[in-house]
A and B are shown apart, each in its own frame.
Chain A
Amino acid sequence: MAAPPRHSAMLSMNSAVATPQPMPGDMSQGPPQSLTPQPSQGLRVPSNRKTIYDRHLNRSRNAELSRASFAYLFAEMVTYAQRRVTGIQDLEKRLNEQGYPLGLRLLDLLFYRTTTTSSSALSSSSTSSSPPNRPLRILTLLHLIHGPLWRLLFGRSADALEHSVSPDTPNEYMITDNDPLVNAYISVPREMNQLNCAAFVAGIIEGVCDGCGFEAKVSAHNQPTEMWPSRTVFLLSFGESVMEREKVLERSGIK
């Protein structure tokens, strides 16, 4: 985390790349893989009751699948998105939008798991009413993303977490992944060198932030180094309301 700031570079990129504002309405359209069960009368269930409600939510917690399978699905997602867009920014916007609902769902899953592990440690049912560790402050949220979210998705923490040192952009934070899984098999052609398909992951982060009540725009930027050619910096810019709330919470000493 002691890496030198790159805010000047980030600033120029920030103005060049517009991140979309996903519409909350999208969520209510009911993508099929709902994590929060709603009792429904209309759906048929198999007689052996192999439904999502009958299986433990942690069943797949430590399950692993082929990394190639993920790469193929992701590749098709990018290809499909490419067919419907006009340019790189548009493509990144699409990828971001597809990651967004995933972020919202993962947030539920993350909270569910962090609370069940902590309450089982106390082994007392009376503590189950204690609220999940929903972040109230930006830094707690960023640690949630940098640590638990990254570990859930990619099996390790992100590589760096930084705050913009520019007085003009106190609302900007950077999370760095030296070698993003989603870019592992992507060789971006020269004429598209601005493209970073980790925009999908940026969308996931944005979903997590929004789901926690931190309105933010998140974008993915190539910041290659000699050692890490696909090093990616996720730029999180929090909205004004978030920054104002942050000040109030700061004054009242809430962590």
Chain B
Amino acid sequence: MTVYSFYIFDRHAECIYKRRWLPRPASIAGKSGQSATPAISAGGGQTVRATDDDSKLVFGTVFSLRNMVRKLGGDDDNFVAFNTSQYKLHYYETPTNIKFVMLTDTKSPSMRIALQQIYINLYVEYVVKNPLSPVEHPGGVGVNNELFEESLEQFVTRVLS
């Protein structure tokens, strides 16, 4: 299974963390000329501007879907994931309105537990409990600390793949 990207949105609807993983050269070689991260790299340009827009797009999508799901299925219903022909988007939201989003290949099993674990074991431990990290994270400040990023990297590369 391949993880393409990962986003965290806070209760103010701001993207406070995003990360992309490019597939290892070996796995890319087997594929056709497909873009490695189909959901994201529009024209391959990895400019800051482009990723900024991506995260807004992702937020808008999950926000609408979650609201729609609650309207149709009741307040206790949850939006969990959706599939396209290119990727699968996984969603986990905490009662504090923090939203975790992960994009993987289409064959991936449900990442809901994995996202919950990232919340419980990485985000809470290394971002929330870090005294040097601010309480809220405008512009992502405090989320991008070494402990969090390294453990996220390990989790994604060793546990998930």
Contacts and interface: CB of A to CB of B under 8 A. Distances in A.
Interface in A106-123: none
A185 B145 contact: no
Interface string A75-89: 110110000000000
Interface stretch (A52-60, A186-194, A217-225): A186-194
Nearest to A76: B131
Interface residues of B, number: 11
Nearest to A182: B131
Contacts of A74: 131
Contacts of B145: 187, 189
Interface in A171-220: 185-190, 192, 197
A68 interface: yes
If over half of A's interface residues share one DSSP class (helix, strand or loop), that class is named, otherwise mixed; here it is helix
A187 B146 contact: yes
- Category for how many chain A residues contact B: 10 to 19
Interface stretch (B87-95, B122-130, B152-160): B122-130
Listed residue (A75, A185, A190) with the most chain B CB atoms within 10 angstroms of its CB: A185
B131 A78 contact: yes
Given A187-B145, A187-B147, A187-B148, A68 B132 contact: no
B129 A189 contact: no
Nearest to A72: B129
A45 B151 CA distance: 51
A71 interface: yes
B148 A185 contact: no
Contacts of A72: 129
A26 to B, nearest CB: 24
B106 interface: no
Listed residue (B125, B131, B132) with the most chain A CB atoms within 10 angstroms of its CB: B131
A189 B131 contact: no
Nearest to B149: A187
B133 interface: yes
Contacts of B132: 78, 186-189, 192
Interface of A: 68, 71-72, 74-76, 78-79, 185-190, 192, 197
16 contacts: A75-B131, A76-B131, A78-B131, A185-B125, A185-B126, A185-B129, A185-B130, A186-B130, A186-B132, A187-B132, A187-B133, A187-B145, A187-B147, A188-B132, A189-B146, A190-B146
